[in-house]
Amino acid sequence: MTGTELASGRARIAEPGEGIGLDELALAARNHGMPLEALRYDVTPPGLHYVLTHYDIPAVDPAAWRLEITGAVRRPLRLDLDDLRDRPAVTSRVLLECAGNGRARYEPRPVSQPWLLEAVGTAEWTGTPLAPLLAEAGVSPEAVDVVFTGADHGVERGVEQDYARGLPLAEALRPETLLVWGMNGAPLPPQHGAPLRLVVPGWYGMAQVKWLTRIDVTDEPFTGFQNATAYRIKVDRDEDGEPVTRIRPRALLQPPGWPEFMTRERFLRAGDTVLTGRAWSGRAPVGQVEVSTDGGTTWTEAALDPGDPAHPFAWRSWSCGWTARPGRWELLARATDETGESQPVEQRWNRQGMENNLVQRVPVTVLG
């Protein structure tokens, strides 16, 4: 990235055929995805759940930590962890996905965190609903956005900042929106936002602010970097673009058989097998999952688990029988949600590499 691009807030697009750079590798080595065999777990163990940290994981002393709720409210609040833990607690199973998942497969490739397909996970988040706290603070009738600021500090395209994201007030007031201190029955680990993070079910990861320190209610739309510059769907450099919001539908297949170490190519033995995976959408319940074993020429409807009605924002498992005959095959899975939105089979490119829910392809060699 050149100095001019940094100062202009523009991300770089890789040249055709350009390999992954050391800058992208440094992000890939410190952030991490969920190895796809972990699709087998209903609830993703913490060290297998994807993590993206824009800057460094901050060191937050939970004893000294306070949360400010301020801005366009009648009674600003200042809370410690015990104040929050004394409130009604909820545990909710929620899928999270990075908006940049699939970015590394775009052609040309936007230069940023180079996710292939593994920036997902489903965890059990324990916390307290945000809406009653905002009601106590007394939100102004003019309020439009709620801005969540984390303790993580850095520079991005020339802008020094604490990570901060604005969320429309209506989303902040949803009963499912939680201030979270626990993950999978244990305290929140440092990399997932200890001591407190936001969880907004259905939205991509950029909204799930970690290491929360401030909640500001605003009577103007928030125009900070992460809303106005990053996380927008743009094709041309100079358009404003649409904001990234809720998770688009996706199905992932747990790659069957065993891998080659370096190529990750898959091998399995001939015979009857069951292909399994997970599917989700942040926009509506998943309506259908289809599987192809011939590269997308023909499709079969998979059996979709009804899911637990108590956890509508978790992923759902699906399965599909397959008689694997010797040879090379390409397996695909495609989700459609109840709005009728389906995953594309050809890329819909944008210059920051957001919302790429292109159908997954898993080549396999079946041995005789």
Q: Which residues lie near its own copies (CB under 8 A)?
A: 1, 6, 11, 18-33, 35-38, 40-41, 45-49, 51, 53-57, 59, 104, 111-112, 114-116, 118, 153-157, 160, 186, 189-192, 255, 258-264, 267
Nearer to its own copies, 139 or 324 (CB): 324
Residue 37 amino acid letter: E
Smallest distance, Å, CB 264 to its own copies? 5
Would you mind telling me the total number of residues written for the chain in this entry? 368
Question: For residue 30, which phi and psi values (nearest 5 degrees)?
Answer: -95, -35
- The answer to whether 303 and 274 are in contact (CB under 8 A) is no
Q: Which residues are paired to 294 by β-bridges?
A: 330
Nearer to its own copies, 18 or 294 (CB): 18
Nearer to its own copies, 155 or 235 (CB): 155
Q: Which of 105, 120, 114, 110 is nearest to 41 (CA)?
A: 120
How many whole angstroms separate alpha carbon 170 and alpha carbon 37? 37
Residue 228 amino acid letter: A
- The answer to whether 127 and 203 are in contact (CB under 8 A) is no
How many whole angstroms separate alpha carbon 327 and alpha carbon 255? 16
- The answer to whether 362 and 330 are in contact (CB under 8 A) is yes
How many whole angstroms separate alpha carbon 265 and alpha carbon 251? 20
Question: For residue 150, which phi and psi values (nearest 5 degrees)?
Answer: -100, 170
Nearer to its own copies, 40 or 325 (CB): 40
Nearer to its own copies, 55 or 349 (CB): 55
- Joined tokens for residue 92: 């909710």
Q: Which of 298, 291, 268 is nearest to 359 (CA)?
A: 291
Nearer to its own copies, 77 or 159 (CB): 159
- Give the three-class secondary structure for 349: coil
Nearer to its own copies, 286 or 359 (CB): 359
Nearer to its own copies, 68 or 156 (CB): 156
Residue 311 amino acid letter: H
Smallest distance, Å, CB 2 to its own copies? 11
Smallest distance, Å, CB 343 to its own copies? 20
Smallest distance, Å, CB 104 to its own copies? 6
Smallest distance, Å, CB 239 to its own copies? 22
The C-alpha angle with vertex 126 and arms to 122 and 130, in degrees rounded to 5, equals: 110
- Who's near 218: CB < 8 A, 6+ residues apart? 71, 72, 143, 144, 145, 146, 147, 166
C-alpha to C-alpha distances, 141 to 217, 232, 307, nearest whole angstrom: 11, 28, 38
Smallest distance, Å, CB 359 to its own copies? 17
Smallest distance, Å, CB 71 to its own copies? 25
- Who's near 83: CB < 8 A, 6+ residues apart? none
Smallest distance, Å, CB 199 to its own copies? 17
Nearer to its own copies, 191 or 342 (CB): 191
Nearer to its own copies, 192 or 214 (CB): 192
Smallest distance, Å, CB 268 to its own copies? 11
